[in-house]
Amino acid sequence: MIAIILSAGQGATAAAMLIGPRFVKRFGQVKSVDSAAAIPAIFIAYSIHPSIMDRAIAFLFRQALMNAGNPIQMSLMMSLVSNRSKGLANSMNQMAFNLGWAFMDPVSASLVISLGSYWGYAAVFSITAGIYLLATTFFFIVFKSLSSQPSFKEGVSKEPVSAH
C-alpha cells in the first residue's frame, strides 16, 4: 500500500509540473512559487489524521504542490542572477535543500523516538508546516516587488540581469 501511495505521489508531481506554466501565466512567478510552497503546509498538518486514506490524499496534494514549484523557483532564480553566477546559485540552492535533510533527519528521528510514533510524527509534521509558512512568508516579502513587474507576471524575464 505504501509503495502505491509513493508511486502515485511521483505521478501527481509530474502532473503538477505540467500545470505549473499555466499558474505562472495567470499569477506570475513569485505568487506561483509562494503558493506552491505555502499550500502544502496545510496538507502536511493534515497528515496526522488517523485515516490512512485521508493521509494518502493529503500526501498526494502535498507532494504535487511542493515539488511543482521547484522548476518555477529555479527559473525565477536563474532570471535574477548573472550568467557567470548561475552555477553557483544553483549549487547553493541544492546545498541548502540537502543540508535541511542532513540536519533535520536526526532531529525528526529523535522526536519520533522520544514522543512515540503518533505524537512524534505529529510534532515533526507541525514543525515542518510552521517552517514552510515562515519560509513562504519571507519569500513573498523579499520578492513581492518583483511580482508587480510585467516581465515577472508573464513568467519570463525580458532582459537578462547584467553582471556588475
Task: With respect to residue 158, please indicate whether it lies within any of the assigned structural domains.
Answer: no
Q: Are 24 and 72 in contact, with CB atoms under 8 Å apart?
A: yes
Task: With respect to residue 51, please indicate whether it lies within any of the assigned structural domains.
Answer: yes
Task: With respect to residue 134, please indicate whether it lies within any of the assigned structural domains.
Answer: yes
Task: With respect to residue 96, please indicate whether it lies within any of the assigned structural domains.
Answer: yes
Dist. CA 160–CA 164, nearest whole Å: 12
Q: Are 20 and 52 in contact, with CB atoms under 8 Å apart?
A: no
Residue 58 has pLDDT above 90, yes or no: no
Dist. CA 64–CA 115, nearest whole Å: 29
Task: With respect to residue 102, please indicate whether it lies within any of the assigned structural domains.
Answer: yes
With bands split at pLDDT 50, 70 and 90, how would you rate the model's confidence at 164? very low
Task: With respect to residue 161, please indicate whether it lies within any of the assigned structural domains.
Answer: no
> How high is the mean pLDDT of the chain?
83
pLDDT of residue 149: 59
Residue 30 has pLDDT above 60, yes or no: yes
CATH number, domain of 32, equals 1.20.1250.20
Number of domains present in the structure of the chain: 1
Task: With respect to residue 163, please indicate whether it lies within any of the assigned structural domains.
Answer: no
Task: With respect to residue 38, please indicate whether it lies within any of the assigned structural domains.
Answer: yes
> What pLDDT, in 10s, does the model give residues 121-155?
889 888 888 888 898 888 888 887 776 555 554 55
Residue 14 has pLDDT above 70, yes or no: yes
> What pLDDT, in 10s, does the model give residues 85-111?
999 999 998 998 889 889 889 999 999
- More confident call, 75 vs 148: 75
With bands split at pLDDT 50, 70 and 90, how would you rate the model's confidence at 61? confident
- More confident call, 164 vs 126: 126
Q: What is the mean pLDDT of residues 23-50?
A: 82
- More confident call, 60 vs 145: 60
Range of the domain at 104: 2-153
What does residue 20 show for φ and ψ, rounded to 5 degrees? -50, -45
